[in-house]
Chain A
Amino acid sequence: MTLIRNYWLSAVAILVSILVFLVPFAFIILMTFKEQRQAALLDFSWPMGNALWGNIVEVVTTRNWMLVTAFVNSTILTVVSVTLLVVFGAMVGFVLQRRKTRFNGLIEFLILAGLMLPPAVVPTIWLLQGMGLFGRLHGLILIEVAYGLPFTILLYRAFIATIPRDLDEAAIIDGARPFDVFFRIVLPLLWPVTVTNIVVQSVAIFNDFTNPLYYLPGNANATVQLTLYNFQSQFSTSYNLLFTNIALITIPPLLVFLFFNRQIVAGMTAGAVKG
């Protein structure tokens, strides 16, 4: 009896999942194969002919290879921001978990505030302009680090609580400097949560649209999400190109999903504080 019901339930679940979750992605893929005229019909149909390669070439070369520039920019942005986040976040998480001082309450309050409150946009732009960082990639890198720190610190602090203190003390007694204790002994032990942090933050920063829109205006240093935004008006009549662009910038998250699904889920449920 249960077996039969589960059989039907499974069938229904799979069918609904295909309809709700797979069809939109199938739609994107079908669009990338279509010629402009067929794509303009916006229907869910099999492509006549195969225009995939032509579409890719056109999207990549449009506006002076803007998509390539954008991929380079997004890669630099993601790699540098995540590196800084991991190192600085782990350092704070370590000392915050190990040393109880009267500032801990204040620091924890600031972390929660950072998770909850949206950034004040125009004052940030004003400040970045004052420092000569507005519209520059390193300015945006520092912004991503500032906004990502609270979540990174929380993940690290929770994990560091599971590593015995005796380890740090033994190392100190053996004459290691605090710097070495952290970078040579503790940080390597944090590898599982570091992977989680890298994966979660990379996806978040690579997919970030709002911060580049505000802090990195201009076509010269667009990030991948902004190419979509810029092409949206330009390609309003060529949906095939718009969807080819969407497909191309979905490849990196797809790869992450295929290889690091477990770490992502672990990070998002363990931290469970990030939107």
Chain B
Amino acid sequence: MAVTTQAGMAQAAGKPRAVQRRSPYPGWFFIPAAVIYIVLFLVPTFASLYFSLTRWTLFNSTFIGLENFAQFLREPFLIKGLINTVLYAAITSALKVVLGLLLAVLLTSQIAARGYLRSVVFFPVLVSTVGVGITFTVLMHPTNGMINEGLALLGIKGPGWLVDPNLALFSVALVDVWKGVGLATVIYIAGIVAIPKDYYEAARIDGATRLQNFFYITLPLSRPATTTVIILSFIGGLRTFDLIWAMTRGGPGFASDTVASVIYKQYQSGFYGLSTAGNVVLFILIAALVIPLTMLLNRKEGHE
């Protein structure tokens, strides 16, 4: 009796282990990815929280408290970078939503050369950002640039796109939209194609106009696509570096600096602590703006 119980217990204890060993989903599958991700992404991220509080030469660091952050809020050009970053993200994501949706509606309607139009709108997404930046820097040249020469033919005096401090950031944002609108468009196309045809059928029977179709069917039902496009381009806009660096290097002066370009400039000048503080500011900025934005967009989505 005692023997059987013991044997039974041993069996019961042994069984889960045996099952675990034969589980087709071994835990060690996580290890290679986890090691790389933890060492090269998580550790630096947590280390930045400490090093942003120091004066740092990479070999030794002196703790100086919140001095780097204080400097960030004191220097006018650093504050300018902060404002520019938010402005840039807001402009690019707003334009990508509006233009992406309109293009997607156009490209899912019955028009000629749809395949060609989809390809041509999407191709810039795949081209090197720096290449696009250099090309548009030349096209936006204030006197010889093609854009202003084209405007001159129409009798309009084109602005100094990248040399006018009030305009430089917006010009870069426009190029960003040119390059990125294709992605927004394909996301919207995927959303619109997924809308059941019955709705449009019913609307047609009720005599709805094209405009009503758009505002009462397409717009509300492509809400998930809108959420994706906004979040995606907003995060991309806040993190943007390569396009700004290729086109203006934050200039003229500090007129088009963003937090990411400030981080690079401070790194180049050897202010590693300040550069890292910039990184932490960017973390906070992204978390503080994107998390509430996501919650807001998802809540409204559930509401309807």
Contact = CB atoms under 8 A, between A and B. Distances in A.
Interface stretch (A51-59, A88-96, A188-196): A88-96
A43 B149 contact: yes
A108 interface: no
Given A14-B112, A209-B128, A89 B123 contact: no
Contacts of B22: 172, 178
A95 B25 CA distance: 5
Nearest to B124: A21
A261 B190 CA distance: 15
Interface string B238-279: 010110011000000000000010011001000010011001
Interface in A1-58: 2, 6-7, 9-10, 13-14, 17, 20-24, 27-28, 41-44
Contact of A178 (B25, B44, B138, B187): B25
A69 to B, nearest CB: 18
A243 B228 CA distance: 34
A265 B24 contact: no
A83 interface: no
Nearest to B40: A146
A171 B23 CA distance: 11
A246 B131 CA distance: 6
A273 interface: yes
Contacts of A121: 263-264, 267, 275-276, 279
B213 interface: no
B141 A117 contact: no
A120 B47 contact: yes
Chain B interface size band reads 35 or more
B106 to A, nearest CB: 6
Contact of A99 (B23, B117, B189): B23
A129 interface: yes
Given A43-B144, A110-B42, A127-B40, A91 B32 contact: yes
Contacts of A149: 33, 36-37
A64 interface: no
Contacts of B122: 261, 265
B113 A88 contact: no
Contacts of B290: 116
Given A121-B279, A239-B138, A250 B260 contact: no
A122 B51 contact: yes
A257 interface: yes
A228 B126 contact: no
A232 B267 CA distance: 21
Contacts of A41: 144
Interface stretch (B10-18, B214-222, B229-237): B229-237
Contacts of A253: 126-128
Contacts, number: 243
A225 B112 CA distance: 37
B275 A122 contact: yes
Contacts of A145: 36
* Count class of interface residues, chain A: 35 or more
Contact of A268 (B136, B186, B279): B186
A83 B176 CA distance: 30
A124 interface: yes
A249 interface: yes
A114, A169, A171: most-surrounded residue (chain B CB, <10 A): A114
Contacts of B159: none
A239 B144 CA distance: 13
Contacts of B33: 88-89, 91-92, 149, 153
A14 B117 contact: yes
A120 B131 contact: no
27 contacts: A21-B124, A24-B135, A27-B146, A42-B138, A42-B141, A42-B145, A91-B32, A98-B25, A99-B25, A107-B30, A118-B239, A120-B283, A121-B263, A123-B276, A124-B40, A127-B43, A168-B25, A172-B24, A178-B24, A178-B26, A210-B241, A214-B267, A228-B128, A253-B126, A256-B126, A273-B232, A275-B239
Given A117-B286, A229-B246, A239-B138, 15 more contacts: A7-B112, A95-B30, A121-B279, A123-B51, A124-B40, A142-B40, A171-B24, A207-B126, A210-B241, A232-B134, A254-B126, A261-B122, A265-B186, A269-B190, A272-B190
Give 5 closest A-B pairs by Cβ, nearest first.
A275-B236, A120-B48, A10-B112, A123-B44, A146-B40
Interface of A: 2, 6-7, 9-10, 13-14, 17, 20-24, 27-28, 41-44, 87-89, 91-92, 94-96, 98-99, 107, 110, 114-127, 129, 142-143, 145-147, 149, 153, 168-169, 171-172, 178-179, 181-182, 203, 207, 209-210, 213-214, 224-225, 228-229, 232, 239, 242-243, 246, 249-250, 253-254, 256-257, 261, 264-265, 268-269, 272-275
Interface of B: 22-27, 29-30, 32-34, 36-37, 39-45, 47-48, 51, 56, 58, 106, 109-113, 116-117, 119-131, 134-136, 138-139, 141, 144-146, 149, 178, 183, 186-187, 189-190, 228, 232-233, 235-236, 239, 241-242, 245-246, 260, 263-264, 267, 272, 275-276, 279-280, 282-283, 286-287, 290
